[in-house]
Amino acid sequence: MTFGIGFATVKTQAADLFTQMNLEKKPLDKVDWRRNVLFATFGFAYMGCFQYYLYVTLFSRWFAGASRFANQSIAKKLRDRTGQVDLMKQVGFDVLIHPIWFFPVYYTMKESLNGKPNVFEAPFPTVAGNAIKKYWNNNFVAGSVMADWLAFWKIWIVGDMVVYGLMPMWARLPANHFFSFLYVVVLSFTRGGEEPPKLEDAEGALKALPGLPDGVVAKVTEAAIDKELRK
């Protein structure tokens, strides 16, 4: 258990560091270490402690035949209807039920540590309310319908089918860590950072529009940035 939690912590932190340095092309001295600490904390508390309890303790109770199914040959698995039903239940739970609280927990932890205000600057209900509002706006308003869920499904529908359907029990954990690393890279890239818009960038984009007076540019820019910062 201790090794698994420690590995989940390091893996999640490493996935964010990989994202910042390789996908976002940040040199080491420009890495957002507050963001990296967020992922280390999330890796320890949620992906390590909570998910160990979920997948090891609870799944073994809910899906008692999973071990028998996992250790069968592929040929036997193709004939095992009961095991296949169990497999679909595990995948269904992980991709349809698990995200219901996974994303609110992540957003709340992110807002608590790195939000403006964070939990050290404002009461927790205020911080949590801001987090849930951002989650809602990113997933349940026009133009961004279930964006986080779709990204989750793109990794974990296939990942869970491989982990629960193809891997023997001894290989489940390494396979899960592989897909988890991939998913944390996606999560870090899409929802890890939150840099407010820069005034000069917004003004430059607006000034590129022909015939727009400077006074309008200034007012629209300030209003847009104010709205963004209040999210």
pLDDT score for 62: 92
How is 126-178 classified by DSSP, letter by letter?
HHHHHHHHHHHHHHSSTT-TTHHHHHHHHHHHHHHHHHHHT--HHHHHHHHHH
Say if CB 102 and CB 112 are below 8 A apart: no
Q: What is the pTM (predicted TM-score) of this model?
A: 0.80
Q: What is the pLDDT of residues 15-40, one digit of tens each?
A: 999 999 999 999 999 999 999 999 99
Closest CA to 105 of 53, 50, 166, 54: 50
Which of the four pLDDT bands, split at 50, 70 and 90, describes residue 84?
very high
pLDDT digits (tens, 9 = 90+) for 92-132: 999 999 999 999 999 999 999 999 999 999 999 999 999 99
- Tallying the residues shown for the chain, one arrives at 231
Q: Are 42 and 109 in contact (CB under 8 A)?
A: yes
Question: Are the C-beta atoms of residues 155 and 179 closer than 8 Å to each other?
Answer: yes
Tens digit of each residue's pLDDT (9 = 90 or more) over 39-52: 999 999 999 999 98
Q: From CA 94, how far away is CA 39, in angstroms rounded?
A: 21
